[in-house]
Every structure is written in structure tokens, then in C-alpha cells.
């Protein structure tokens, strides 16, 4: 017998540890949108509908026509570190799916009121499962369409501090919009519908070309001014679409970088691209661009950030150098450099 009376360390019960983990993964409504979209994309959906109410405060619902979840996996998918996507350490270095940490569903369910409806295409019957603040409320068979619908209500209903940290509806919605734009740009083959309160913001059909997708979201004026580029080396493939330097804006927000289909933030690369544009635009103007980097998953660590927004390249310098030269070349081929000194 161990002397438990002297022990002051104890393992936290899952209700508490999930809530702590949720603090890292789920920071605001847009984090929920991102995690649910990742799951729908990983599930092979070709149509995804997103319904938002009150900037995600009262409702975030994502409905997909992907694989669906079998009865036995429904409870499990809300367990911490429960995933169908990796099995061992080796898999971690060759992940092709967006998810793999098995944290999102458990985290979301610990800080909101979640209703899951799901049916696999091969099953006759689907299920409805409700979990509020980590506590199971109901689990019953239900007649539902094949695929998965996750409705997240009253986010942070049980974490007052988090609720109070949320910004204005306009700001929270801007984050949601960006998250949807990222998913829609990375997956032009998937149809996306975004409904906010009573407005249809996007209704993007599946199997769009990149240019159709971009003008479908950002406006027809973009279409004529988009430049495609692509370059492959043994280490890295860089491709994407850039806007005409004439079509720049005063504010940030339409710059997109993806690594192996995953949207990321990358200060150094962002700065590098913007400084190339400076040659044409002068400082403080922001172009639209969507840059896709494809590397061997072994060359990039996506596991440095809980929400996976940052990644670590094995060879950052080469990545930057190559991307810079392709972007520069693409712009130079299309647009004469104006007669100003190169500010680089
Ligand atoms: P991860 O995506 O890292 O595996 P999550 O907590 O996001 O972890 O999801 C847990 C599991 O639940 C997934 O591995 C997947 O098997 C299942 N799942 C979640 N959402 C969906 C969905 N929309 N369609 C099919 N399966 C899903
Ligand atoms: Mg996930």
C-alpha cells in the first residue's frame, strides 16, 4: 500500500484538464470554426456549411457531408487525445490530415453546449449526441443526413473570464471570416457556404478554379488582376496566386500563406513578400496573395503550436529564398518595375 495520505500531487479529473487544454486550443469563436472545418475537411467532405449567430457567441454550426462518425466512436471523439488520424510517433512526422492531436472536440465540449448529429454513409441510422461543459446530456438514434453536423452553442458559458475577453462582434466575426477564407482557399474543390445571422456571406460551389474561388470571395474585380506562379525544387514546391500591385489595399487581412494545406502565420515570409511589393506600391500597401508551400512533412514541424498556426521549417532560409525569388519573378514578368530605386 502506498501512503496516499502524504501525497499532495493528484491527477486532475478530465473535466478540469479538458478545460485547461481548451484554453490553449479554443481562444475565441474563430478557433472553434477552424477546428470544426479541419475535421470536416479531414472527413473528406465536398460540401461544408457554416452557420454563425451573434459572431459565434450563441451559435457556431458546421455541417458536412464527410465520412460521418460510427456509433462506437461518438463518445470517444470527445475524449482528450482521442484521434483516428495518427497511431504512433512515426505518423506524427508524416501527417497529411489537418488534425492529429485529438484535442479539439474534447476542448470545445468542455467550454460550450455541443450537439453532434452524425451518420456514416454505410449506416441506416444516425445519432444525436449532446454534451454540455464536458457532461453528456443525451445520446440517441436520430434520422440525420449522412455526414456530420456539430452545433456549438453559448461558447464559454462556463468560463466567464473567457467570455469577457471576447472583442466586439465585428472583430470576432472578422476572425471567423478569415478562418473560412483560409479553408476555402486551401480547398477550392470543396463547396463552402457561410451564413451569418440571416445573411448568406458565401455560397461557393465545389470544384472551383483558384481564380474563381478568389473572385467568388473577394469580388469580381480581382479576377483580371491575379497572377499564377509555380516553382518546384527538390526541397520545396511554391505555388499560388498574387494580385496585381495596382490592386493593393490600405489594410491588412488578405495575405494568406499555407504549408501543406495548413494556413500559417509567418512573420519573416510575410515581411519578405510585402517588401517585394514595396517596389511597386510604396510602403504601407497590402496586396492580396495566397502562397502555398508544399514540403515533405519531415521537413516541417507542425506541432509547435496548439492551434498549429505556426510551423517550424527545417531550413527556413532556403524556403524564404526560393519563395522570394519566385514571387519577384512572377511580378517582374507581368509588371514593369516603376522608375524608382529598389527599396530592398
Ligand atoms: P483530431 O482532429 O486531432 O483527430 P478532434 O478532437 O478534432 O481530433 O476529433 C476527434 C476525432 O473525431 C477525429 O479524429 C475524427 O475521427 C472524429 N471527427 C471529428 N469531427 C468529425 C467530422 N466532422 N467527421 C468525421 N469524423 C469526425
Ligand atoms: Mg480535429
Best CA proximity match to 110, nearest among 84, 136, 128: 136
Write out pLDDT tens, residues 156-206: 999 988 899 999 999 999 999 999 999 999 999 999 999 999 999 999 999
Residue 286 CA to ligand 2 center (angstroms) comes to 32
Best CA proximity match to 291, nearest among 332, 245, 241: 241
What pLDDT does residue 12 have?
85
Provide the 3-class DSSP secondary structure of residue 165: helix
The mean pLDDT of the chain is 89
CB 119 within 8 A of CB 127: yes
What pLDDT does residue 106 have?
93
Q: Which residue shows C-alpha cell 532556403? A: 318
- Cα end-to-end span (Å), the chain: 70
20 or 121: whose pLDDT is higher?
121
Among 45, 83, 307, name the best residue to mutate to test ligand 1's pocket (greatest count of ligand atoms within 8 A of Cβ): 83
- CB-based pocket (< 6 A), ligand 1: 35, 39-40, 43, 64, 66-67, 69, 77, 82-85, 99-106, 148
Report, as an integer, the average pLDDT of 33-59.
Answer: 97
Report which ligand 1 atom has the smallest distance to the Cα of 67: 25
CATH architecture of 14-204: 2-Layer Sandwich (3.30)
Domain 220-334 grouped into CATH 3.40.50.10320: no
* Extents of the domains making up the chain: 14-204, 220-334
- This prediction has a pTM of 0.91
Confidence of residue 299 (pLDDT cuts 50, 70, 90): confident
Report, as an integer, the average pLDDT of 315-341.
Answer: 82
Please state the ipTM of this predicted complex. Answer: 0.99
Which residue has the least CA distance to atom 17 on ligand 1? 77
Amino acid at each position: 500500500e502506498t501512503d496516499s495520505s502524504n501525497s499532495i500531487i493528484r491527477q486532475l479529473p478530465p473535466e478540469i484538464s479538458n478545460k485547461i487544454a481548451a484554453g490553449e486550443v479554443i481562444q475565441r469563436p474563430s478557433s472553434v470554426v477552424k477546428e470544426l472545418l479541419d475535421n470536416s475537411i479531414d472527413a473528406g467532405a465536398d460540401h461544408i456549411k457554416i452557420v454563425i449567430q451573434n459572431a459565434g457567441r450563441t451559435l457556431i454550426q458546421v455541417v458536412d457531408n464527410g465520412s460521418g462518425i460510427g456509433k462506437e466512436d461518438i463518445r470517444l471523439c470527445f475524449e482528450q487525445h482521442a484521434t483516428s488520424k495518427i497511431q504512433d510517433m512515426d505518423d506524427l512526422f508524416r501527417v497529411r490530415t489537418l488534425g492529429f492531436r485529438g484535442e479539439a472536440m474534447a476542448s470545445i465540449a468542455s467550454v460550450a453546449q455541443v450537439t453532434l448529429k452524425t451518420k456514416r454513409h454505410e449506416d441506416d441510422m444516425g445519432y444525436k449526441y449532446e454534451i454540455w461543459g464536458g457532461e453528456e446530456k443525451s445520446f440517441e438514434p436520430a434520422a440525420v443526413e449522412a455526414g456530420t453536423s456539430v452545433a456549438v452553442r453559448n461558447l464559454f458559458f462556463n468560463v466567464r473570464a473567457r467570455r469577457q475577453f471576447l472583442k466586439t462582434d465585428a472583430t470576432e466575426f472578422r476572425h471567423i471570416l478569415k478562418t473560412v477564407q483560409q479553408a476555402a482557399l486551401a480547398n477550392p474543390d470543396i463547396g463552402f457556404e457561410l451564413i451569418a445571422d440571416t445573411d448568406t456571406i458565401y455560397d461557393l460551389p465545389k470544384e472551383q478554379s483558384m481564380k474563381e474561388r478568389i473572385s467568388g470571395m473577394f469580388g469580381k474585380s480581382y479576377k483580371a488582376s491575379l497572377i499564377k506562379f509555380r516553382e518546384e525544387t527538390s526541397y520545396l514546391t511554391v505555388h499560388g496566386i498574387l494580385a496585381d500591385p495596382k490592386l493593393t489595399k490600405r489594410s491588412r487581412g488578405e495575405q494568406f500563406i499555407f504549408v501543406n494545406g495548413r494556413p500559417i502565420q509567418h512573420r519573416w515570409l510575410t515581411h519578405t513578400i510585402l517588401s517585394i511589393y514595396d517596389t511597386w506600391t510604396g510602403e504601407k500597401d497590402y496586396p492580396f496573395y495566397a502562397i502555398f508551400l508544399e514540403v515533405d512533412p519531415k521537413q516541417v514541424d507542425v506541432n509547435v503550436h496548439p492551434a498549429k498556426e505556426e510551423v517550424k521549417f527545417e531550413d527556413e532560409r532556403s524556403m524564404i529564398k526560393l519563395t522570394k525569388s519566385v514571387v519577384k519573378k512572377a511580378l517582374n514578368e507581368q509588371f514593369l518595375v516603376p522608375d524608382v530605386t529598389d527599396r530592398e
